[in-house]
Copies of this chain bind each other. A is one copy, B any other.
């Protein structure tokens, strides 16, 4: 089904979710494969990236990117192959990455695409370690977290696409790394494979604040937060002086249908003279080449590794995305849309 080239399978936003999305919030349609207009290329998508930020775009609220309209194709990053082109710099067969959405084909102007070198690494990494999540880890950690040798760096969602890399990059800088995850299997993975010094399973630990204190006895110098909520509260209880908190995601709050409440704990930021800063990778667009160059080098040398969680078939994207928001992924979650 998904590899046929005469039908465009598209996943649309059918309605705005209340709380956690359900499959009924999406609608899958088949449409004709579009014809590329002059100056555009036709891309067959091979992989779709599923990312927590997509939940925000399903709401009708102002954000850094506009909401997906009802009955529009869900937005998202893809890697694909150019299959029809009259653009000389992107001939048929070129592998490209872009925001082509939850669909099997799309036409697009070349300026919205980045050419992916299949010789460098598996092309799916253009959506992970050598793509937006990798760059998020890179710029968020280095530019805002400013890790120093000997610092303790705590990462929430530490086995995810971003967190798995943050820990490795911090370790490479000589930091003590502590990862917070939601499963024992993930805890083992981040310590044994990613080199984290300690792991905390937030689902089974009854006193998160004490767990962070034990894992970070000198206090937390850098907190890379993908999660928010009680995990973040526990870290705030254990900040070192002048801690840097990189606010990269707040996935624990994205499905809330009403305002979540929590302790008012900014006094802890005041007392420790810490800094909280919001981070969105799109602000670093001009420096992507620098980040990709370094990440590619470290990937090639084996200094960093990654894990993918690939689900087959675009029709399974809604369920896979719902699972991602519940932490059911293990590594970077991708949809394989078509064979390479």
> A residues within 8 Å of B by Cβ?
63-64, 225, 228-229, 232, 247-250, 253, 259-264, 266-267, 269-280, 283
Contacts and interface: CB of A to CB of B under 8 A. Distances in A.
Copies, count: 2
A266 B228 contact: yes
Contact of A276 (B250, B263, B276): B276
Nearest to A277: B275
B276 A275 contact: yes
Nearest to A61: B271
Contact of A271 (B229, B262, B277, B278): B278
A279 B280 CA distance: 25
A162 to B, nearest CB: 13
A298 to B, nearest CB: 26
A279 B271 CA distance: 8
B250 A270 contact: yes
A30 B306 CA distance: 71
Contact of A266 (B232, B259, B280): B232
Nearest to A63: B271
Q: Summarize A's interface: helix, strand, loop or mixed.
A: mixed
A151 B278 CA distance: 19
A270 B263 contact: no
A228 B273 contact: no
A261 B260 contact: no
A79 to B, nearest CB: 26
A271 B228 contact: no
Contact of A283 (B260, B273, B280): B273
Nearest to A261: B261
Given A260-B264, A262-B262, A64 B271 contact: yes
B264 A270 contact: no
B266 A276 contact: yes
A279 B64 CA distance: 28
A147 B277 CA distance: 17
A137 to B, nearest CB: 16
B283 A278 contact: no
A83 B81 CA distance: 87
A64 B242 CA distance: 12
A297 to B, nearest CB: 28
Contacts of A260: 263-264
25 contacts: A225-B266, A228-B266, A232-B266, A247-B266, A250-B264, A250-B266, A250-B267, A253-B267, A260-B264, A261-B261, A261-B262, A261-B263, A262-B262, A262-B264, A266-B276, A270-B279, A271-B280, A272-B278, A273-B279, A273-B283, A274-B278, A275-B275, A275-B277, A276-B276, A276-B277
Contacts of A278: 269-275
A280 B273 contact: yes
Contact of A264 (B64, B228, B276): B228
A249 B248 CA distance: 26
A229 B266 CA distance: 9
